[in-house]
Amino acid sequence: MIPDGYTDLASGKIASVVTYLEMVERPPLADISSIAIRTGVQLRPVQNPGLDWYRARYRQAGAQWFWFSRLEMTDEQLATVLHLPTNELYLAEREGSEIGIAELDRSEPPNVEITSFALFSESIGKGLGRPFMTQLLDRAWDGSTARVWLHTCNLDGPAALTFYMKCGFRPYKRAIEVADDPRIRGILPEDTAPHVPIIR
């Protein structure tokens, strides 16, 4: 257990406060086809994505927020995850342009985890997140799902936690995550996330 007060981190480490959120019943969702027509946002399932294609979009979606867990995987490890029958990858598109990515993990039914959800930076702040999430939730609650959950942290986009709560997720747990700085390890460029200084 981490004691109250300040706890020093070793040089080369980063830390974040992680908030876990959940839904335990399907929320009322607007008609998906009308959302797609009105907003232009559509979800496209991606089957067996190429690893370079996936890594490029994963970086595009989350590098600025310190997404690095999939980037440190070997080709074999990443391919195994992406090709699991319980893993679903979606590309959000609007007017022929890619605007974001999301993933669902159904490996522990009846729970479904949203393992990633992100708009690309050029699509943030344009009202596209809610129709994107609505369509993803419609898919997540398909079948025998009893709970949908995700987590975010204070290194994520500043509006992420509030957005998830407005979508109907309820916070239920916090944790502290400590990791080696991915910029020092060469997983992310050193100029990534300049608001978080590198301490060697």
Question: Which CATH superfamily is 13-180 part of?
Answer: Gcn5-related N-acetyltransferase (GNAT) (3.40.630.30)
pLDDT range class, residue 157, cuts 50, 70, 90: confident
Backbone conformation region of residue 41, classed left if phi is above 0, alpha if psi is from -120 to 50, else beta:
beta
Average of per-residue pLDDT values in the chain: 93
Q: Does pLDDT of 177 surpass 90? A: yes
Name the helix (H) or strand (E) containing 112: strand 111-119
What single letter denotes the amino acid at residue 186? Answer: G
What percent of the chain has a predicted confidence (pLDDT) above 70? 100
Residue 93 C-beta-side C-alpha neighbours within 13 Å:
9
Residue-level pLDDT at 136: 96
- Give tens-digit pLDDT for 103-139: 999 999 999 999 999 999 999 989 999 999 999 999 9
Mean pLDDT on 12-24: 97
- The reported pLDDT for the residue numbered 3 is 81
Judge whether 181 and 188 are in contact, CB under 8 Å: no
Evaluate if residue 37 carries a pLDDT over 80. Answer: no
User: pTM for this structure?
Assistant: 0.94
Question: When comparing pLDDT for 150 and 193, which is higher?
Answer: 150
Q: What is the mean pLDDT of residues 178-198?
A: 94
Among residues 185, 160, 162, 164, the alpha carbon closest in space to that of 69 is found at 185
Both tokens assigned to 14:
């980063």
pLDDT, average across residues 18-30: 92
Q: Given 3-state DSSP classes, what are the helix, strand and coil percentages for the chain, each rounded to the nearest 5? A: 25, 30, 40
DSSP 4-51: SS-----TTEEEEEEEEEEESSPPP---HHHHHHHH-EEEEE--S--H
pLDDT at 170: 98
pLDDT, residue 117, reads 97
- Angular region, 45: left φ>0, alpha ψ -120 to 50, beta rest: beta
Q: Mean per-residue pLDDT for 150-156?
A: 95
CA distances in angstroms from 165 to 58, 101, 102, 159, listed in the order given: 23, 20, 17, 10
Q: Above 90 in pLDDT, residue 145? A: yes
